[in-house]
Amino acid sequence: MIGHQTEGWGRNSDMSSYVFTRVTRLLGALSLLCLAFISWAQPLTKEQKDAVLKGVEDVVVNRAFVPGVDFKKWPEFIAKHQEALEKAEDAAAFAGAINRALREFGLSHIRLQTPRAAASRNQTTAIGTGASVTKRDEGLEVRGVNENASAKAAGLQPGDVITKVNGQKADDPSKLEGEKGSKVEVEVKKANGETKTVTLERTEYSTVRKETLTWVDEETAVLRVFTFAAGYGRQNIETLMTEAAKAKYLVLDLRNNGGGATNNLNHLLSLLLPDQTPYGVFVNRTTAARFAEETKKDPNDPIAIAQWSSAQVKTRARTTVPPFSGKIAVLINRGSGSASEIAAAALRESASAPLVGSRTAGAVLASIFRPLPEGFAIQFPVSDFVTAKGVRLEKNPLVPDIEVTTVRNDQSDPARDKAIEKLKSGG
């Protein structure tokens, strides 16, 4: 998974192992949920904090991997935040302090989840404001808003920046978490510079947004894919792509799609590119070690390792739906991350698809989740990614071929219109 990986029913697995895996996951999820409720209900003790910190250290120092990154610096980083750790009384404050230390690595896909977030990770409903945010220097930038939650009703839009949460600096997304029915006051800076304060209620809402295919005219369609994580609808996308086969031009909308599973990424690319099209290399610890042993060269250069490796990821033909044969453009923005960035890069490199919109997140590391004591969980990177043409995407956002910074609204979509114009001009 880009963003996180899970064990799956692979080609060599049998049904019994599949059932065992599913039951194990279910039991694990129930246990995690029980621990989460306990953690929400009472303050963290010193013993609980120490247990979580020990688990974080083991994962970061011994299991995380990105070529050239020294994860053994973790004790040095966390020591700087000792005061905040001691003052933290609840799970959100404690996770916030640890995440500030984790950010010193300067990487994506490394963060501690609160028990609440860990318990709901693979659920299709969530409790919160419905605002998907990313940490920026100025605060929490809104990447997207759920149609059925309070952030949307309050007028929050992608590109807005939350500068304060309950009067405090907005420096960690966990500050927006809370129990169902509780409220949070946020100060929001709009794109036009206006600042306003709104109160958001944390409600339960569905996180599933069904992919859509919209016809602009008889030869042009727009496929919007909201996520590659839980909620990605394979059957729905195949149905939509069957209909899209009639189009001459296809615009793939990946704006505010934060990524998800590699198998879902491969599924979509296999409907858009020819069978066995290589689109990159995942550089993990084993590959880097083999590179160093066989070439006697620096194992800290992911691009050199990827160019040496023969383990490319490739598309796989789908028996029911042939790959799209027309021209493709891709819509991207700051909220397009991880698997979305790989998809956009692959289509640019292999199908000459123009990218339209604004720069992507530059957050492309494959990662997994590991449960920790007290219901917490940690996401950590296990491999880097380099495109088929040798571009490392982590901390290297995709730059659009046509930049459009105007945010779409109910009446217009300037980026979509520019993409269609580009496709039809043949340029």
**214-247 confidence digits (pLDDT tens):** 999 999 999 999 999 988 999 999 999 999 999 9
| 3-class DSSP string for the chain | CECCCCCCCCCCCCHHHHHHHHHHHHHHHHHHHHHHHHHHHCCCCHHHHHHHHHHHHHHHHHCCCCCCCCHHHHHHHHHCCHHHHHHCCCHHHHHHHHHHHHHHHCCCCCEEECHHHHHHCCCCEEEECCEEEEEECCEEEEEEECCCCHHHHCCCCCCCEEEEECCEECCCHHHHCCCCCCEEEEEEECCCCCEEEEEEECEEEECCCCCEEEEEECCEEEEECCCECCCCCHHHHHHHHHHHCCCCEEEEECCCCCCECHHHHHHHHHCCCCCCCEEEEEEEHHHHHHHHHHHCCCCCCHHHHHHHCCCEEECCCCCCCCCCCCEEEEEECCCCCCHHHHHHHHHHHHHCCCEEECCCCCCCEEEEEEECHHHCEEEEEEEEEEECCCCECCCCCCCCCEECCCCCCCCCCHHHHHHHHHHHHCC
Lowest mean pLDDT across 1-5, 208-212, 267-271: 1-5
6 pLDDT band, cuts 50/70/90, is very low
Per-residue pLDDT at 427: 62
270 pLDDT band, cuts 50/70/90, is very high
164 pLDDT band, cuts 50/70/90, is very high
Tell whether the model's pLDDT for residue 12 goes beyond 70: no
**55-68 confidence digits (pLDDT tens):** 999 999 999 999 99
Map out the domains of the chain as residue ranges.
Answer: 125-207
Per-residue pLDDT at 156: 92
Tell whether the model's pLDDT for residue 27 goes beyond 70: no
Give buried/exposed letters for 340-352 (b at 16+ CB in 10 A, else e). bbbbbbbbbbbbe
Per-residue pLDDT at 15: 32
- In single-letter form, the type of residue at position 88 comes to A
Q: Which residue would you say has higher pLDDT here, 175 or 20?
A: 175
Per-residue pLDDT at 329: 98
Give me Rg for the CA atoms of the chain.
22
18 pLDDT band, cuts 50/70/90, is very low
**Cβ contact 186:162 at 8 Å:** yes
Q: What's the whole-model pTM score? A: 0.81
**336-345 confidence digits (pLDDT tens):** 999 999 999 9
211 pLDDT band, cuts 50/70/90, is very high
25 pLDDT band, cuts 50/70/90, is very low
Q: Which residue would you say has higher pLDDT here, 379 or 35?
A: 379
Per-residue pLDDT at 204: 92
Q: Which residue would you say has higher pLDDT here, 348 or 124?
A: 348
Neighbours of 267 (CB within 10 A): 18
CATH number of 125-207: 2.30.42.10
Lowest mean pLDDT across 92-101, 123-132, 148-157, 410-419: 123-132
Per-residue pLDDT at 2: 63
Per-residue pLDDT at 272: 98
**125-144 confidence digits (pLDDT tens):** 888 999 988 888 899 988 77
Residue-averaged pLDDT of the chain: 89
